[in-house]
Amino acid sequence: MTPQSPTKRSKRRNTISVGEFDSKAQVLIAEWEQVAKELELFESKHKKYLEKLENVENLKITHCQEFKKIQTKINNLKKSIDKNKSLIIIPDSSSSPRTAAEKTDLLRIRRETEVNRETPEQRQERIHIIREHLIKEQSSYLKRIEYTLPQAPERYLRIILGSELPVSILNKADQYKYKESYETF
């Protein structure tokens, strides 16, 4: 064995025959065509996914709005029942002066009593049942629904993120808002 000097190196080339190169190129081209077809299918699936995601986001927004309306109506009904509890049993006209709204409610209750021919005690019982149903059953049901809806971030996240956005950011508008608020942060 003769030691080779560092300046002289034997040049060994990988020699691939033309036929072997062509067959490897054909395999690569076939693989690329397969990947291109899969990518095409994936792109169409991804477009469908984005459309459905947008639909879900729109449903979430409308559902939250409807939920808030129902909650507001129930809270108003509770307040109305509490306010009108004293009007359930029809007081004498000699009692304390009433506002126009209270007088209107009193007249409405009297008319309903005359139409339904129920006693003040029956009316009181019916309103009590309505109130109990609203407080016990519907409140727990609404709480369960509320936990499934998107929640505003808690104080710590608002400080860290620097925004009022919901924690799950699914649509592009919210993503843009998050990006803007993050950049200003």
Q: What is the pLDDT of residue 116?
A: 64
Handedness of CA 165, 170, 173, 175 (dihedral sign): positive
Q: What is the pLDDT of residue 36?
A: 94
pLDDT higher than threshold 80 for residue 85: no
**How does residue 75 score in pLDDT terms, banded at 50, 70 and 90?**
confident
3 is a domain residue: no
CA separation for the pair 40, 32 (Å, rounded): 12
184 is a domain residue: no
Tell me the mean pLDDT in the region 176-184. Answer: 75
**How does residue 93 score in pLDDT terms, banded at 50, 70 and 90?**
very low
Task: Write down the mean pLDDT value for the chain.
Answer: 74
175 is a domain residue: no
103 is a domain residue: yes
Whether pTM exceeds 0.75: no
For residue 23, CA distances in Å to 19, 29, 32, 36 come to: 6, 10, 14, 20
Q: What is the pLDDT of residue 88?
A: 53
Q: Which domain holds residue 104?
A: 20-151
131 is a domain residue: yes
pLDDT in tens, 12-50: 556 667 677 788 889 999 999 999 999 999 999 999 999
Q: What total of structural domains would you count in the chain? A: 1
Q: What is the pLDDT of residue 30?
A: 93
169 is a domain residue: no
